[in-house]
Structure 1
Amino acid sequence: MTKVRARAYTSPTLVLLCFDWADGDKHPDFLGFSIKRSPGYGKSGAPQYLYNKLDFTPPKSGAKPKLSNRAPIQKFNWWDGGIGPSDAGKTFTYTITPVLGTGPSNLQEQQADAIDLKVKLPETVEGGIGSYFNRAVVSSQSFLSIAKKSLNAQMTWLANGIENAVPDFLSSNADHVAGAIYHLTDQWKIIPAMKKYKGQLSFSYFLKTGSKGDEDSKPAADLLANGKRIFTPRSKISSLMHDKFIVGFNGGAPTRVLMGSMNFTPEAQTVQANVLHTFESKQMAALYANRHDLLLNDPTTAATAKGTLLYPGSQWKSVTDIPDSKIRIFFSPEKTKSRVSIDTIIQAVSSAKSSVVFALFSPTDKPLLDALLAAGDQGKIMLGLLNSISNPESKAKKAGKPLTASQQVAVTVYHRSRKDKKVIPFGAFSKNAPRSFLPELKTIDTSSFSAKQPGGKIPPVHVHHKFVVIDADTANPIIYTGSQNLSVNSVSKNDENLLEIKGNTALAAVYFAEFMRLYNHYRARAVWEAQHGAKAKGSKSAHDPLVLKVTRDEWVNEAYKKGTAEYAARTRLA
């Protein structure tokens, strides 16, 4: 017999367990794994099994999830849903045990092959880097009970601690702060924190007037502006001033940076999946401070790309004062026809050794998409999460117009997602939810906490991330993250900031854990919709149950077949 192999990928608020039992292919009655956590969920701290929503028979309406020794985990990865912001820095031991049997009345844990995996969650700030990922899963069974509570309670659960990032950053910088923000509307946490801040505050914010303009941030800027709080509009950029960053000054010098994908809006903190980071780095802070100063002058797109002697234009800039990390920063826009930033990512993806995962709002760059999909075709683990996936072919054909370049990318994504389900979109269980599952919400209304002018529509954004993580399961990971959507416009027409982080295995594990949490959540819904939705062909009837299987071959799929994506994931991630 062979013991279970297991590995944990952790963030401050999440434990993702990846495990493998090599002997599983020898046992047709291998029914999955039980997972026990110590300390458990109760106040006593007694060891307790993790829960499984699924059972061998369709659960009755309102039935509680079963413990995994009675309802084994029929997957090779699982995340602990009982971890929250207060658990950052704590240590847990997970006992992962193979289970053999023929069904609910015949289950035997193979104790001799079990493994005890000790897992310490990182603190929110480790190695000079703070990491804040929100939950942002309104479309979940867990949120249905939260939805009965106050709006503040709902938002706090969805925000998962990210709502504290900006207020805490402001309060810890005594001298002054300077930054650039695409959208500033949040009266829940951020605007109150700016009002409370006693130092000097200077921000560049995006403003375009006219019928197709964008004045979302102007009410907040007007509300906040006074002698110590200066807000300068940015309007001469071709498309968007899409940055989201703050620089902190102490002792008269820039010392810290906050950056990420999150706009400063109530919906960005709660219903849109986002990340923010803080960096304790004087080098990085100086580069971002220079960028802020350049944007204050509102240069044209061409002038921004060219830069000046004091504020260099678009090029990779190295940061060397953060331990265990090789970091470079790129500020867009680039000069016309230049693709330095995105081509760097394409080259890194093409050179991946083991895995590539990405979470993007919407990919529109064909060379990048081709490189990402090719990674999967070459036997590497390739998984992607997008805000939405649609097929524009029929509309273009009906209009008698050829597909645009971005529409061609959308068509490729659509057909690939239908083929292998490796790239999937946001989803929710609707009225035809699996038996014992309730229909889920898609969003909540946070407009009561917005300074935005009434009547403006909030776009249906659920996945707002902008990251690619390469070889997270190896000793040499690469992370690309920032404000850039990795699109044509983001390269040449927008103000953007992009980080390349090499060699930081702990941070790569954070990204991988948070990615898999969202990916597994939405994949279950995407697969169900493909089989049972209105457009499903030859589908089963609505409300079919999701149930555990009673033989190994019904649930492992191709996980024990060499050369398959499932085999690679089983053997490499554990």
Structure 2
Amino acid sequence: MCLLGFDVDNPEDDFVGFAVEYKEPGDAEFKRLHNRIAFDYDVPVVAAVDGQRTFPTTEAPLQTFRWVHFPWEPRKGIYTYKVTKMHMPQDMKLVRGTSIELPISLDPVTYEGFLDIGFTRNFASSQAFEAKKVQLGLDNDIIPADADAGLDFVNKKHDIAPTGIYDWLGFGAHQLVFEFLDWVKQDASIEVDALCYDLNEPDFVAALEALGPRLRAIVDDSTSTDKDTGVVSGHGIASSAESVSAQRLLTSAGAGRVKRGHFNGLQHNKVLIAKQAGKAIRVLGGSTNFSYRGLYIQANNMFVFNDATIAGLYQQMFELAFNDMDSFKASKLSKVWHSVPQPGKPTVSLCFSPHTKAELSLGPAGAAIDAATSSVFYSFAFMNQTKSGEVRKALDRLMKKPLFSYGVVNRKGGMELLKPSGEVGLVDFKYLADHAPEPFKTEWSGGGGINIHHKFAVVDFDKPTAKVYAGSSNFAPSGEKGNGDHMIVIEDQRVATVFAIESLRMFDHLNFRTRMAEDLADQPKKLTLKKPKAISKLKTSWFDKFYVAGSQRALDRMLFSRK
């Protein structure tokens, strides 16, 4: 996917939006991007606007200043985009204005031979998924109702492989993890060390099982006890998917090669380390659990480093945890940040928990958010539950600043929602429920459990000083002192841009649902494009709200068009 940002310094009164056309690699002709709404319809609005991208932007321009494009079948190489100002001097007479062309590479690998980043689609609660279900003849039963039943879930890929729904939902993260496992499978000289938290994806478990004695693993065994009933639940009980998976892997890998543990709280890492001749050469990590929810429902990220130094630090972490998890907090590895600067590559720094002082990891992240001069994007699954710590404090301060920022959390209770301009700066998970107006279809909630599971912050993505904080950590003091986790900082503008686009994608997706819920009765009136004031007789133009000095929309317009 790519983000297209546009701007007009002094929009004319008859300016009605942007037409977008693109050429795919190797093609000679431009194709048109399409809009879901238009200026006028031959039938009632609710019949004409069916949720599909029906109207070419050359006839129904985009009345916004940015757009995320998802090529239907992405090709590796250069895409050429042409953006044209569209004018309406007379009613329904469109005239082309200034046009700009720009080549953009959509190569799938972030840094060839060093780093790749992938995201889950997080579209189980979306109009796109509702359309996909109709197309493929599916229902909502694509994940088990009970997570512990995942290993035997009958609808998994081998039963409905022709639909490709798991590849579609798993998106880039799904591709990264299974390509990693296929690569290991093809080379018998490679061994794998795995750290798992949620673990119920049957194809993933089967792939680890097939490695036999080439695998070592640590699987979380944390539990919790209900205060009222005394019932114990969690990964550590005998019937959990994690316990069943661990026993299967112990049988296939051999005695002493699979261990259970939870540090002081949780074994919360989701990591695969590939080794050759005893030395780490590649590592996969991030926020994505090896589970149905992690890969197919939640918003998550995953990274793969093809770098022996970075992979070696993860291997040190694994060895300490595998041999003596209880002493990990006292180890030298957990007490400092580990910086890996390499010529020609992004600088990467790592911090492993648990450690004695949460400030070790949270302090730099909070300070970076405080020091931002351009923008901050963030997504933290449980930040509403985190009442203290340097990151939560910095986010609270951020919301009170005019600095441009967008945040996405699973639940926003107790957090500030609005920026000083009065516009939304934070959204949480929403889906279109039973009262969704036409033409919008009622969406699935995605089942029980959280939906936004990311853990990242992007600081000043448009500057050479751009950096991203990410990993498995929830950026909370209790987790940093109690859980086995990793936090990573990547200082690089390209990587920061990748995460910024992901943040925008989620924010727009959820902010739309928030606005729908707040103004349902008036929606049909909003399902048309706005004509110029001279024609519509309205007091305002569609673009006026984007030019209010100091507003989020004005900052948004300028930030993404001037990168």
What TM-score results when the alignment is normalised by the length of structure 2?
0.83
Mean Cα deviation higher: 469-478 or 162-171: 162-171
1:114 alignment partner in structure 2: 99
1:382 alignment partner in structure 2: 405
- CA deviation profile, 1:11-68 (whole Å, cap 9, x unmatched): xxx11111111121xx22222111111139xx98732211111223435164742111
Structure 1 residue 522 corresponds to structure 2 residue 515: no
SS in 2 for 1:257: strand
- 1:389–1:107 Cα change, 3 Å: same
Structure 1 residue 155 corresponds to structure 2 residue 166: yes
Distance in structure 1 (CA, Å) of the matches to 2:272 and 2:343: 18
4+ runs deviating over 6 angstroms: 415-418
2:67 to 42, 57, 78: 78
1:283 to 298, 309, 312: 309
CA drift at 1:115: 0.5
Aligned partner letter, 1:420: E
1:270 alignment partner in structure 2: 296
SS in 2 for 1:331: strand
Distance in structure 1 (CA, Å) of the matches to 2:92 and 2:488: 53
Verify the 8 A CA contact 1:181 1:244 in the aligned structure 2.
yes
CA drift at 1:263: 0.5
Structure 1 residue 185 corresponds to structure 2 residue 212: no
2:280 to 227, 244, 254: 254
1:358 alignment partner in structure 2: 378
Verify the 8 A CA contact 1:177 1:200 in the aligned structure 2.
yes
Verify the 8 A CA contact 1:207 1:213 in the aligned structure 2.
no
Distance in structure 2 (CA, Å) of the matches to 1:557 and 1:225: 64
Verify the 8 A CA contact 1:283 1:321 in the aligned structure 2.
no
SS in 2 for 1:424: strand
Verify the 8 A CA contact 2:15 2:87 in the aligned structure 1.
yes
Mapping 1:69-148, distance limit 5 Å = 69-84=58-73, 86-87=74-75, 89-101=76-88, 105-110=92-97, 113-124=98-109, 126-127=111-112, 128-148=114-134
1:201 alignment partner in structure 2: 215
Mean Cα deviation higher: 422-431 or 350-359: 422-431
2:32 alignment partner in structure 1: 49
2:331 to 288, 302, 307: 307
SS in 2 for 1:341: helix
- CA deviation profile, 1:92-126 (whole Å, cap 9, x unmatched): 1111111222787132221xx21101111132352
- CA deviation profile, 1:248-273 (whole Å, cap 9, x unmatched): 10132111110010000022111111
2:427 alignment partner in structure 1: 424
CA drift at 1:341: 0.8
- 1:542–1:353 Cα change, 3 Å: closer
- 1:572–1:491 Cα change, 3 Å: same
Verify the 8 A CA contact 2:192 2:216 in the aligned structure 1.
yes
Verify the 8 A CA contact 2:400 2:420 in the aligned structure 1.
no
Verify the 8 A CA contact 1:373 1:382 in the aligned structure 2.
no
1:225 alignment partner in structure 2: 250
CA drift at 1:199: 5.7
What stretches of structure 1 of length at least 5 have no aligned partner? 1-13, 391-410, 445-458, 533-539
- CA deviation profile, 1:300-339 (whole Å, cap 9, x unmatched): 3xx322215xxx223201113474311110011221x541
Aligned residues: 503
2:228 alignment partner in structure 1: none
Distance in structure 2 (CA, Å) of the matches to 1:491 and 1:359: 18
1:341 to 349, 361, 370: 361
Aligned partner letter, 1:291: M
- CA deviation profile, 1:416-448 (whole Å, cap 9, x unmatched): 79953110012122233343222222226xxxx
Structure 1 residue 38 corresponds to structure 2 residue 26: no
SS in 1 for 2:108: coil
CA drift at 1:551: 3.6
CA drift at 1:378: 3.4
1:456 alignment partner in structure 2: none
Distance in structure 1 (CA, Å) of the matches to 2:90 and 2:514: 28
Verify the 8 A CA contact 1:359 1:468 in the aligned structure 2.
yes
Mean Cα deviation higher: 540-549 or 174-183: 540-549
Task: Give the alignment's Cα RMSD to 1 decimal.
Answer: 2.6
Mean Cα deviation higher: 212-221 or 512-521: 212-221
Verify the 8 A CA contact 2:3 2:68 in the aligned structure 1.
yes
Aligned partner letter, 2:364: T
1:398 alignment partner in structure 2: none
Verify the 8 A CA contact 1:281 1:322 in the aligned structure 2.
no
2:152 alignment partner in structure 1: none
- 1:83–1:17 Cα change, 3 Å: farther
Aligned partner letter, 1:334: H
Aligned partner letter, 1:136: N
What stretches of structure 2 of length at least 5 have no aligned partner? 143-156, 158-163, 226-230, 534-539
SS in 2 for 1:34: strand
SS in 2 for 1:435: coil
Aligned partner letter, 1:51: H
1:513 to 501, 516, 527: 501
- 1:142–1:214 Cα change, 3 Å: same
- CA deviation profile, 1:366-416 (whole Å, cap 9, x unmatched): 4423423433543321000111223xxxxxxxxxxxxxxxxxxxx233577
SS in 2 for 1:23: coil
1:316 alignment partner in structure 2: 337
Percent of aligned positions with the same letter in both sequences?
A: 22
CA drift at 1:498: 0.4
Aligned partner letter, 2:530: K
What TM-score results when the alignment is normalised by the length of structure 1?
0.82
